[in-house]
């Protein structure tokens, strides 16, 4: 396991569409472990493989609650319901936060780390995180979806 470098604003890879994972091999499993470790090191709620420079459709999410982290390979949003305006940040845009409209509920289908098909239903923060990370896989970042005039810059010493 290793901490990977997070690609930040201005890196062209963040605009690219990630490719589906064809085979869940040791390389993909190592990527997932590294993503979890990297996400936890930086206290992130979610991480997409593209954010560590790998154009594969893999996301990890951890709400730091009683549930284990969510790992989804080739995730697809099947349904979304309602909307919520949320304050959002991103590990690829350090110290930047803005308001974004996200679905209130989503249902996502994908594969788990062993290749088994799973569905994840999320509300509120989980719905937000799923939508945010799946956007990354499609080359979309939250600053493109932010409500105009809501960007805030937080200097690390103010946290």
What's the residue count for the chain? Answer: 159
Residue 134 lies in a domain: yes
Q: Which two tokens stand for residue 82?
A: 């309602």
Catalytic residue selected from 133, 140, 144, 157: 133
Rounded-to-integer distance, Cα 127 and Cα 135, Å:
12
For the question of residue 133 being annotated catalytic, the response is yes
pLDDT at 109: 98
The confidence band for 157, taking pLDDT boundaries of 50, 70 and 90, is low
Give residue 70's domain range. 12-158
Residue 1 lies in a domain: no
Q: In what order do the strands lie in the sheet with 152-153?
A: 84-90, 93-102, 152-153
pLDDT digits (tens, 9 = 90+) for 78-115: 999 999 999 999 999 999 999 999 999 999 999 999 99
Rounded-to-integer distance, Cα 9 and Cα 20, Å:
23
Q: Mean of the per-residue pLDDT values for the chain? A: 96
Residue 5 lies in a domain: no
The pair phi, psi for residue 92, each rounded to 5°, is -85, -5
- Whether the CB-CB separation of 56 and 34 falls below 8 Å is answered with no
Q: Map tokens 């869940």 to a residue.
A: 24
Does the pLDDT value for residue 159 go beyond 80? no
Does the pLDDT value for residue 61 go beyond 80? yes
Specify the number of domains making up the chain.
1
- Whether the CB-CB separation of 91 and 47 falls below 8 Å is answered with yes
The CATH number of the domain holding residue 48 is 3.90.45.10
Does the pLDDT value for residue 50 go beyond 60? yes
């Amino acid at each position: 396991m290793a901490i990977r470098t997070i690609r930040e604003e201005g890196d062209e890879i963040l605009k690219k569409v990630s490719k589906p994972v064809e085979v869940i091999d040791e390389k993909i499993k190592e990527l997932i472990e590294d993503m979890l470790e990297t996400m936890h090191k930086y206290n992130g709620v979610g991480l997409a493989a593209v954010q560590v420079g790998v154009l594969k459709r893999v996301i990890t999410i951890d709400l730091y609650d009683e549930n284990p982290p969510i790992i989804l390979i080739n995730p697809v949003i099947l349904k979304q319901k309602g909307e919520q305006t949320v304050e959002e940040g991103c590990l690829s845009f350090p110290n930047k936060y803005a308001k974004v409209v996200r679905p209130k509920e989503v249902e996502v289908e994908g594969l788990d780390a062993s290749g088994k098909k799973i569905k994840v239903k999320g509300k509120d923060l989980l719905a937000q995180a799923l939508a945010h990370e799946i956007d990354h896989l499609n080359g979309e970042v939250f600053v493109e979806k932010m409500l105009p005039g809501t960007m805030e810059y937080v200097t690390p010493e103010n946290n």
